[in-house]
A = this chain, B = another copy of it.
Amino acid sequence: MEIVFLGTSSAIPTNNRNHSALALKAFGEIILFDCGEGTQRQMTRARLSPMKIDRIFVTHFHGDHILGIPGLIQSMAFRGRRDTLEIYGPPGIQELLNSMKKLGYFALSFNIAVHEIKDGTVLEEDDFKISAQLMKHSVENYAYCIEEKRDPKFIKEKALKLGIKPGPAYGKLQSGLPVKIGNKIIKPEEVLGEKRRGRKLVYSGDTLACEEMVGFSKDADVLIHESTFNNSHKEKAFETGHSTAEMAADIAKKAGVKSLVLTHISTRYKDVKTLEMEALNVFEDSVVAEDLMRLEVEQHDD
């Protein structure tokens, strides 16, 4: 499971920071969160194929989070994509996509399935689920939480004791199905251990740091939180519905997350040291993201 920071600027891009976008390489696919202008090129730089994206999750409808979608779609079509592309976002996303489909001549070679989200689970698969929660920005902005589901551990000793030899039966039991050994039916719970904890990631989108985020990111492995400003522009954060690095660190501390990554950095900060220091003073495991930074999220032992 790897997070690739494709764009870490706020409204205006800089030489070093492109508009917002995050790629999650996990569960055999690439899931995109937000897609600012130039995201397809950032993917090329990160050696990620846009063709491997099957799902895009949009936090809100500010240009710096969405204007890369038309180009991404058109490039997919140009390359002859056939697979359906699923796009999730706040109410209005269908209308937004309708306008995006009108931008110039191109033949859409695949289906786009658009999902208008609300608070709660927005996608549930066998091995993960994604939920959304409304936060506090100047426009409707949803944070996303990705939770991995893990199978319980297979205890080989127990299986051997029950006379089951290594082979296909192990896989069947692991996946929750019973097997017949001689005349005996072995139930999965006879060989499986406790339920195991999966990894949990939260991405804030744009928001003023708020209590809702504390609950939403509880015990997350990684909280990716916007921090548009440092403490010298705290008032501006309140005015515009954004966060400072310190505010984000405070959320991370209260939520008991393992690590905090700050992103969506204002162009005014050429040097992010102040920002990072302000976060580190509150929460030890803080880092400011850079474009094309890759973060491996390690599996839990338990």
Q: Which residues of A line the B interface, CB within 8 A?
A: 11-15, 18-19, 37-38, 40-41, 44-45, 61-63, 65-68, 70-71, 74-75, 78-79, 95-96, 99-100, 102-106, 139
Contacts and interface: CB of A to CB of B under 8 A. Distances in A.
Secondary structure type dominating chain A contacts: loop
Given A13-B40, A38-B37, A75-B12, A67 B18 contact: no
A4 to B, nearest CB: 15
A8 to B, nearest CB: 13
Contacts of A74: 63, 67
A71 B69 CA distance: 12
Given A14-B44, A15-B44, A15-B45, A105 B71 contact: no
* Most B-side CB within 10 Å, residue of A41, A65, A70, A100: A41
B100 A96 contact: no
Contacts of A65: 104
Contacts of A100: 103
* Most B-side CB within 10 Å, residue of A12, A37, A61: A37
Nearest to A71: B37
Contact of A38 (B38, B61, B79, B96): B38
Given A12-B75, A67-B71, A102-B99, A18 B41 contact: yes
Contacts of A63: 70-71, 74-75, 103-104, 106
Given A74-B63, A139-B105, A13 B44 contact: yes
A187 B106 CA distance: 58
A11 B75 CA distance: 7
Contacts of A12: 40, 75, 78-79
15 contacts: A12-B40, A12-B75, A15-B45, A19-B71, A37-B41, A37-B68, A38-B41, A61-B105, A63-B71, A63-B74, A65-B104, A66-B104, A67-B67, A95-B102, A105-B139
